[in-house]
Amino acid sequence: MSTTEATGGPPGEKTWFGHPRPLALLFTTEAWERFGYYGMRALLILYLVQHFVFSDRVAGGLYGAFTSLVYLTPLIGGYLADRYLGNK
């Protein structure tokens, strides 16, 4: 009995850790996007307090509003897309 190993692509195709090569670009892009997002979150309070001279309380409120909107707006956008912009 012979066995064959599934590689997921044509023979001779270059892979990245067993995955298609374009996944490396996707992974790198996502990693830098996350790095930028979390780096910005880490510095947002300092920027609001030192540059705009907001009180700690106001800066914390703006930080909380920003963080909640980051995770809430995709839900609103998904609802609008499914309800009004999707297939009819």
Q: Would residue 75 count as lying in a domain?
A: yes
Number of domains forming the structure of the chain: 1
pLDDT score for 87: 74
Q: Would residue 7 count as lying in a domain?
A: no
40: containing domain = 19-85
Q: Would residue 8 count as lying in a domain?
A: no
- State the Cα–Cα distance between residues 70 and 76, nearest whole angstrom: 11
* DSSP per position, 6-53: --SS-TT--EETTEETHHHHHHHHHHHHHHHHHHHHHHHHHHHHHTS-
Task: Pull the structure tokens for residue 25.
Answer: 């670009």
pLDDT score for 10: 64
Query: Average pLDDT by consecutive 10-residue portion of the chain (88 residues)?
Result: 56 82 93 93 94 96 95 96 86
Q: Would residue 54 count as lying in a domain?
A: yes
Q: Would residue 12 count as lying in a domain?
A: no
